[in-house]
Structure 1
Amino acid sequence: MSWMRDSSLNWAQKFALKVIKTGKIPRHVAFIMDGNRRYAKKLHLTTSTDGHVHGFDKLAEALQWCLDIGIEEVTVYAFSIENFKRDESEVNALLELAREKFNKFMEESDELNKRGICIRMIGNWKLLPVDLQKSMADAMLMTRNNNKAFLNVAFAYTSRDEITESIRDIVDGVKRNELESNDITDDLIRRCMYSGKSSDPDLLVRTSGESRLSDFLLWQASTSIIYFTKTLWPEFTFWHLLAGVFYYQRHYQSMHSVKRSLHQFSSVMDDESFTKDLEQVRQTSNIAEIETSSKLATFSQRATEFLEKFDKRKYNQLVELSTIKV
């Protein structure tokens, strides 16, 4: 199945879409796609992996729905580090499915670039087979200059690991005398995370009836509106997504007030403008923008130079992985 779908909304869905667009639309939505194994059991499918295949098909649909609604960035929890603790046969099947789907990115490169979709893989790549790392690097390099929409795939990911690795990178910077202790801020830690180029999610959706975050985007979702639905992920529909967006619209004002209170220390009076500028900087590797922007002057000169080197190292790692012969 393809990652890319054409819009296929019926007249009722198009009408509902027009209504929902009269309200505030989240710029970034994150999904915990839970319920694939329960779906397989419910339908008496041969293996739990069959449930994950159905889950991928649903993801492709959901991505197109997000584009229809006007959601510019999507982050999906595809594979947790905790999943490695599952039965070996299931883990191997999931990794093989990932190989197939990530290779599909390359086959659809023309369409991805035509639509301006940027692919970002976030997670601890060291835990993955080299050939899978290469496929992920290829997809990221192929789409790195696109900026119309963003798809972040969290694979071999947990939030605790992400924060730990960010701090390790900063500690290494201190050891190399690229940073001093007083350069370390929460913004610097956030910028060094796997998801450092992404905005924080406005809305986080979890399916299957579980009411927990399962170590997903714990730092980034501190001010996100969280929507839980009992629907299993493969049974998720356009109407469930609209329900999540409507839930976001109902609670937007109260959460917006919380965000404004967090920025009281800033001289920036227009929080939406501040957030927009910050997101633009995080989506680009041009770190000089941080230094020159009066609104975003949160990094010292040393930290700015460190981030420039940090981004260059990460880019070089992608290039190195893409050249590996497998």
Structure 2
Amino acid sequence: MMKRARSWWNKNGKETPELSKANIPQHVAIIMDGNGRWAKQQGMPRIVGHQSGMKALKRATIAADDLGIKYLTMYAFSTENWTRPKDEVDFLMRLPVDFLAQELDELIEKNVCVRMMGYEENLPDHTVKALREAIRKTKDNTGLVLTFALNYGSRSEITDAMKAIAQQIESGDLTTDDITPDLIEKHLLSKDLPDPDLLIRTSGELRISNFMLWQLAYSEMWFTDIYWPDFNREHLYEAVAEYQRRTRRYGGLK
């Protein structure tokens, strides 16, 4: 069992000086896992866990913004999640609509820029409409970039990038000598985002589940037994504190 989070707040409710403002991760990606198991533990239907997970999403967004994190990417629905029962999938497709309906005004007030990373194909019209509206209304915001990875799968993303490059080679616009990591990155769905500095996964699972396989090459990873609906500011602070205790070498020596 992993160690539970320590408190990063003193008795007066103020932040302790544990975190260095000079070493805050620029981009944090989170695999929000454990909604269903949390609900089962509470003796409630899985959809209640997803509803509670939406509240945790808001807490994490506020905490990330307060910390000065610039990019927050949330794995909301994978290309593999379509295999789940239809009623659960239908409910999950309503969550972005409900979340944005409730929180968009506050996100705008906090200067948050909403983005989506994934495939619109197969998504219900109401889900796409809500996301497009949020993206349009926040496109000029200059604060935290909140990206929803929705209907996202990294293997599909990389495959599509390879196809696009191959087509450019066939047309004569590129040669094989032009293929570089930078070129591949420009064809990924995350092309406008820096690679994550820190990946967080909740629920005790120790895998990345087809999430940003290319982009996570040198990311620090932090896993916790906490189910996503219980995730709060304290846990994000603990993850960042652990990040700050590590030395990132990128394959070299320091």
Q: Please give the range of the TM-score, normalised by the shorter of the 2 chains.
A: 0.7 to 0.9
Distance 1:104 1:180 in 2: 49
Question: Which deviations, in whole Å up to 9, do the C-alpha atoms of 1:15-70 show, x marking residues without a partner?
Answer: 32x3313562111111111110001101111x211100100101101110111111
2:32 aligns with 33
RMSD of aligned C-alpha atoms?
2.2
The 10-residue stretch of structure 1 (206-215 or 236-245) with the greater mean CA deviation from structure 2 = 236-245
Of residues 133, 148, 157, the one that matches 1:153 is 148
1:74 aligns with 72
Q: Shift of residue 103 of structure 1?
A: 4.4
Q: Matches of residues 26-105 of structure 1 in structure 2 within 5 Å?
A: 26-45=25-44, 47-104=45-102
- What residue identity is the alignment partner of 1:198? L
Of residues 234, 238, 250, the one that matches 1:258 is 250
Distance 1:170 1:143 in 2: 31
Q: Shift of residue 178 of structure 1?
A: 3.7
Question: Which deviations, in whole Å up to 9, do the C-alpha atoms of 1:263-285 show, x marking residues without a partner?
Answer: xxxxxxxxxxxxxxxxxxxxxxx
Shift of the 177–140 alpha-carbon distance from structure 1 to 2, 3 Å rule, reads: farther
1:306 aligns with none
1:266 aligns with none
User: Which sections of structure 2, spanning at least 5 residues, go unmatched?
Assistant: 1-8
Distance 1:181 1:232 in 2: 45
1:190 aligns with 185
1:317 aligns with none
For the pair shown, which has the larger CA radius of gyration, 1 or 2? 1
The answer on whether the counterparts of 1:23 and 1:249 sit within 8 Å (CA) in structure 2 is no
TM-score where L is the length of structure 2 = 0.88
Distance 2:107 2:158 in 1: 30
- What residue identity is the alignment partner of 2:185? R
Count how many residue pairs are aligned between Structure 1 and Structure 2.
Answer: 245
SS in 2 for 1:245: helix
1:164 aligns with 159
Shift of the 247–10 alpha-carbon distance from structure 1 to 2, 3 Å rule, reads: closer
TM-score where L is the length of structure 1 = 0.69
Q: Matches of residues 1-326 of structure 1 in structure 2 within 5 Å?
A: 12-16=12-16, 18-21=17-20, 24-45=23-44, 47-104=45-102, 107-108=104-105, 111-251=106-246, 253=247, 255=248, 257-258=249-250, 261=252
The answer on whether the counterparts of 2:47 and 2:88 sit within 8 Å (CA) in structure 1 is yes
Shift of the 166–135 alpha-carbon distance from structure 1 to 2, 3 Å rule, reads: farther
User: Which sections of structure 1, spanning at least 5 residues, go unmatched?
Assistant: 1-8, 263-326
The answer on whether the counterparts of 1:21 and 1:69 sit within 8 Å (CA) in structure 2 is no
Distance 1:78 1:249 in 2: 26
Q: Percent identity?
A: 38
Question: Which deviations, in whole Å up to 9, do the C-alpha atoms of 1:108-164 show, x marking residues without a partner?
Answer: 2xx434432211100121131233223222222222222221011100011111111
- What residue identity is the alignment partner of 1:53? Q
Distance 2:97 2:20 in 1: 36
- What residue identity is the alignment partner of 1:34? D
SS in 2 for 1:19: coil
